[in-house]
Amino acid sequence: MEKLKAELVAPCGMNCGLCSGYLALSRGLEKKRGITHCKGCRPRGKMCAFVKKRCEKVRKNQVEFCFECKEFPCESITKLDKRYQKNYNYSFIENLKYIKEHGIQDFLEMEEKKYKCKNCGDIKCIHNGKCYSCQTITTWRG
């Protein structure tokens, strides 16, 4: 079981360690139809796949996290946040506020507790509720 890592939290507030693409790759799942593989935004040098194209500060590595920008939350983050709240019950804006107030390590500990698989103790995916280690699936919606 791999712990969540600070370098996997993108500037936008997405924890790539919870993403299906990262979990599939890091858990050694064979790449086949429907399974994408990804090392995470920062490790790939992409900084943030969601807002990089629209944000010069992220593109030029002028901010570590979007909350450092005077325009936070910008239109890009707000749109992304609404989509993720609706589809995955996950808020980029709340993540960034938490990181700003409590620090990255507290954020990672909170995420590990929240997304821990009750069956095997590994991390569950934010996108589909699946534990890629034991294949248990938990839905996020009550």
> How buried is residue 138: exposed, middle or buried, by Cβ count under 10 Å (0-12/13-18/19+)?
middle
Reduced to 3 states (helix: H, G, I; strand: E, B; else coil), residue 131 is strand
Start-to-end CA span in the chain (Å): 27
Q: What pLDDT is attached to residue 111? A: 96
Q: What pLDDT is attached to residue 125? A: 93
User: Average model confidence (pLDDT) for the chain?
Assistant: 88
Q: What pLDDT is attached to residue 142? A: 36
Cis peptide before 73, with omega less than 30 degrees from 0?
yes
Mean pLDDT of 11-34: 86
Residues 40-85 pLDDT 10s: 888 887 777 777 777 888 888 889 999 999 999 999 999 999 999 9
Tokens standing for 16?
């790539």
DSSP string, 74-127: -HHHHHHHHHHHHHHS--HHHHHHHHHHH-HHHHHHHHHHHTB-TTTSSBBPTT
Residues 97-141 pLDDT 10s: 999 999 999 999 999 999 999 999 999 999 999 998 998 888 754
Closest CA to 55 of 68, 70, 40, 74: 74
The verdict on pTM exceeding 0.85 is: yes
pLDDT band for position 91 (cuts 50, 70, 90)? very high
